[in-house]
Amino acid sequence: MNHIEKYQIIAEQEISKFAIKSDPSGLYDPIKYVLGIGGKRIRPALCMATCHYYSETGYLSLNAAIGFEVFHNFTLLHDDIMDNAIIRRNKPTVHQHWNVNTAILSGDAMMILASQLMLKVPDNSLRQIQELYLKTGLEVCEGQQMDMDFETQEKVTIPQYLEMIRLKTAVLISASLKSGALIGGASASDCDYIYEFGQNLGLAFQLQDDYLDAYSNDEKFGKAIGGDIVANKKTFLLISCLENANAEILQRLNNCLTSTSISSKSKIEQIKAIYDMLHIGELCLEKIEYFYSLALGSLKKLSLKDEYKAELQQFAEKLMGRTY
Amino acid sequence: MNHIEKYQIIAEQEISKFAIKSDPSGLYDPIKYVLGIGGKRIRPALCMATCHYYSETGYLSLNAAIGFEVFHNFTLLHDDIMDNAIIRRNKPTVHQHWNVNTAILSGDAMMILASQLMLKVPDNSLRQIQELYLKTGLEVCEGQQMDMDFETQEKVTIPQYLEMIRLKTAVLISASLKSGALIGGASASDCDYIYEFGQNLGLAFQLQDDYLDAYSNDEKFGKAIGGDIVANKKTFLLISCLENANAEILQRLNNCLTSTSISSKSKIEQIKAIYDMLHIGELCLEKIEYFYSLALGSLKKLSLKDEYKAELQQFAEKLMGRTY
C-alpha cells in the first residue's frame, strides 16, 4: 500500500473522530451526516502524502488535510441546493433530508469549521496556507458561478469551459497537494510543480468524465450513459461540436437539442452520430492526453525520491483508470 | 466628532473603495450591491476606534475592521434567504433581486472575502485574530440556528433566549471591539473587558429592541409597533409573560396567540394588557438596565485614558437612545 492509499484510510478515520459540537443539533447534525456519508478522501490523502514526501510524516498536515475535505464537502452541500440534487452518494442530500435553510446554515458553519482546521498548521506556514486556502475557496465559488451561468449562456467557448472546470474542480486538488508540500517543507519551485501537477490532472480527469458520459461502455462510472447529452449539458463534447459544425450539421444538432418529442435513447444516438462525424471523441481524447502529459511533466520536475514520484504517477494512472 | 464617529465615516469610504473583482459578474455584482446599500458601519468603526485608543491609529486594524463588516453583511444576506425577507434597508434583498442560488453562492464568496481581509493583520496578532473571528463566526451561525429553532419550539426559556441573542448579535460586536484592541496592543485583561463591554451592551440593545416593539411611541425605530406581537415572535416579553402567567392568564394569552379571527390592533392591545398586568415591561427594563450596567462596569475597568472611555460610554448611550 503506498502512502496515498495509507493516508486515505487515515483521513477516513480522522474524519470519523473529528469532534463536532452537539448543540444546537439542527446546525451540527447535518454536518456530521455529510461527513459521515464517506467519499474517497482524495484531497486529504494527497495533502498528507505530499507532506510525508517532504518531511517523512504526513501528520504535520493532518488538520489542513481534514480542512480541505470539510471545505470540499461544504461546497457539495451548497452545490446540491443550487443544482436541486436529491441524492448524493446514495443518500438524500441535506436540503432533501432536512430543508434548504438547514442546508444553507450548516454549510456556512461547515466552511467555518474548515477554516478553523486550516489554522491548525505550524506558525511558519500559517499565512501561506491561509492565503492559498482562501484564494482557492474563492476560485471554487467562481467556478460554480460560471457553471451556473453556462446553463443559460448561449455561447460557451472551450477556453471558458476549461477555465470553469479548472476553478470548480482542479484547484482544490492542487491546493491540497501544495499545502501538504508547503507544510512538509518543499521548495517554492516544488510547490509550484506539484500545484501544476494537480491542476492538469484535475483538468484531464474532468474531461475524461465528459468523454465517458458519451463513450463509456459500462456502469462503473456511476452515471447513466448519455446523461449529459439528454440534459443538453454544455460539456467539452457539446461545445466542441457546436464550434466545429457547419451550418447543416448545426441545424441537425439544434433540432436534437430543442426537440421535445425525441426519446432519450434516440437523442443520444443522433448526437453521438454527429460527434462521430466530427471526430469529437478523438478531439476530447487528445485534450485529455494533453493535460495528462502536462501533469506527468510537472511530476518529473519535482526534486523528490523516484519512489515518491512513482506513487504520484500511480495515483494519476489509477484516477484516470489507466492500467499501463 | 469622536473617534468612533470619525471611523464610521472612514469605514464607509474604505468599503466603497474595497476592490472586488468583476468577473464572474453573477458572483461579484450581488456582493457590491450588498456592501453598497450602506448601514451604520458600527462594527468596523468600533474595531478601528479601539485600535486607535491603544495605538493612536485605527489604521492598523483597517482590514480586520472591513472584514467584520463584510462578514456581518454576509450573515444578513444568508439570513434574508432563511427569513424570506424581501426588503433590507429599503432595497430588495439579493435573493429577491437575483435569485436564491445567487444569494447562496455570493454569500459564500463574501464570507471568503471577509476571511481574506482578516488575514491582513500584523503577524503578531494573526493567529489570535483568526481564532477570535472564526469562533465568533460559528457562534453567529449557532445563534441563527437557535433563532430558527425557537419558531417551532414549544417552550423557550429566558436563559435560552438570552443565549440566542448573545450569539446572534452581541458576539460580533464584541469581537470587533476586541480585535481592534488586540491589534492596537491592549493587554489581555483589557481585551477581555472590552469584549464583555460589547457583549453586555449588545444584550442590552437587543432587549431594548424587544421592549420598543411593544412600548415605543414613535416610528424612529424603523419598525411597525407591535410587529413582534402580531407575529407571535418569542421575544423577551412574550417568553417572560408565558413564564409568569397563572393558568387563567395563560389561557387568555394562548387564545390571543392562536386566534385567527382577532385583528392585529386588538391582538396588540390584549397582549399588552396582559404584559401590563404582569409588569412584563418593567421586567424587561430591569434586564436592560442590568446588562447596561454590566457594560459600563467593564468599561470602567479598562486601563485607557478617561477621554477614550468617555467616547465608548457616549457610544453606548447613543446606541441605547439615552441622552442623560
Task: Give pLDDT tens digits for A218-249.
Answer: 555 555 589 999 999 999 999 999 999 999 99
Interface test with A, best of B138, B140, B150, B172 (most A CBs within 10 A): B138
Per-residue confidence at B105, pLDDT binned at 50, 70, 90?
A: very high
pLDDT above 70 coverage of chain B, percent: 97
Mean pLDDT value across residues B224-238: 91
Q: Within 10 Å of residue B153's Cβ, how many Cβ atoms?
A: 11
Residue whose C-alpha cell is 456592501: B35
Q: One-letter amino acid identity for A11?
A: A
Distance CA A97, CA A36 (A): 14
Torsion sign, CA atoms A20, A21, A22, A25: negative
Q: Is A151 on the interface with B (CB under 8 A)?
A: no
ipTM given for this complex = 0.95
Q: Which of A215, A203, A211 is nearest to A292 (CA)?
A: A203
Distance CA A12, CA A112 (A): 20
In the DSSP assignment, the letter for residue B169 is I
Provide φ and ψ at A155, rounded to 5°.
Answer: -115, 125
pLDDT in tens, A120-164: 999 999 999 999 999 999 999 999 999 999 999 999 999 999 999
Pairwise CB contact (< 8 Å): A24 & B146: yes
Per-residue confidence at B216, pLDDT binned at 50, 70, 90?
A: confident
Pairwise CB contact (< 8 Å): B142 & A27: yes
Angle of helix B123-152 relative to helix B62-82, nearest 10 degrees?
Answer: 20
Provide φ and ψ at A216, rounded to 5°.
Answer: -75, 145
Distance CA A213, CA A234 (A): 12
Considering only CB atoms, which chain A residues are within 8 Å of B107?
108
Express the helix, strand and coil content of chain B in percent, nearest 5 each.
75, 0, 20
Q: One-letter amino acid identity for A6?
A: K
Q: Is B149 on the interface with A (CB under 8 A)?
A: yes
Long-range pairs for B233-236: beta carbons < 8 A, 24 or more residues apart: B234/B150, B234/B151, B234/B156, B234/B161, B235/B161, B235/B210, B236/B158, B236/B161, B236/B207, B236/B210, B236/B211, B236/B284, B236/B287
Of how many residues is chain A composed? 324
Here the cell at position B147 is 433563532
Mean pLDDT value across residues B13-17: 96
Q: Please tell me the distance in Å from A258's CA to the nearest CA on chain B.
A: 25
pLDDT at position A317, please? Answer: 96
In the DSSP assignment, the letter for residue A87 is E
pLDDT at position A186, please? Answer: 98
The C-alpha angle B281, B286, B290, rounded to 5 degrees, equals 150
> CA-CA distances (angstroms) from residue B139 to A191, B157, B180?
35, 19, 19
Q: Does residue A53 contact residue A308 with C-beta atoms inside 8 Å?
A: yes
Give exposure, B261-287, as e/b (b: 16+ Cβ within 10 Å). ebeeeebbebbbebbeebebbebbeeb
Q: Which of A116, A134, A145 sits opposite B24 (nearest CB)?
A: A145
pLDDT at position A216, please? Answer: 84
Q: Is B146 on the interface with A (CB under 8 A)?
A: yes
Pairwise CB contact (< 8 Å): A119 & B131: yes
Torsion sign, CA atoms A82, A26, B155, B282: negative
Interface test with A, best of B128, B142, B167 (most A CBs within 10 A): B142
pLDDT in tens, B239-266: 999 999 999 999 999 999 999 999 999 9
Considering only CB atoms, which chain A residues are within 8 Å of B146?
24
Here the cell at position B10 is 472612514
Q: Is A44 on the interface with B (CB under 8 A)?
A: no
Mean pLDDT value across residues B23-49: 96
Q: Is B104 on the interface with A (CB under 8 A)?
A: yes
Q: Which of A28, A149, A169 is nearest to A82 (CA)?
A: A149
Q: Which of B101, B137, B148 sits opposite A148 (nearest CB)?
A: B101
Angle of helix B123-152 relative to helix A100-119, nearest 10 degrees?
Answer: 160
Q: Which of B234, B15, B81 is nearest to A108 (CA)?
A: B81
Q: Which residues of chain A have pLDDT under 70?
A: 218-224, 323-324
Q: Is B22 on the interface with A (CB under 8 A)?
A: no
Q: Which of B27, B119, B123 sits opposite A142 (nearest CB)?
A: B27
Asked if pLDDT for residue B107 goes beyond 80, the answer is: yes
pLDDT at position B225, please? Answer: 81
Considering only CB atoms, which chain B residues are within 8 Å of A145?
24, 26-27, 105
Q: Is A129 on the interface with B (CB under 8 A)?
A: no
Per-residue confidence at B324, pLDDT binned at 50, 70, 90?
A: very low
Q: Is B142 on the interface with A (CB under 8 A)?
A: yes
Q: Please tell me the distance in Å from B64's CA to the nearest CA on chain A.
A: 15
Q: Does residue B177 contact residue B198 with C-beta atoms inside 8 Å?
A: yes
Pairwise CB contact (< 8 Å): A141 & B26: no
Distance CA B33, CA B260 (A): 39
Pairwise CB contact (< 8 Å): B78 & A105: yes
3-state secondary structure B214-233: HHCCCCCCCCCCCHHHHCCC
> CA-CA distances (angstroms) from residue A265 to A177, A270, B109?
41, 9, 40
Per-residue confidence at B224, pLDDT binned at 50, 70, 90?
A: low
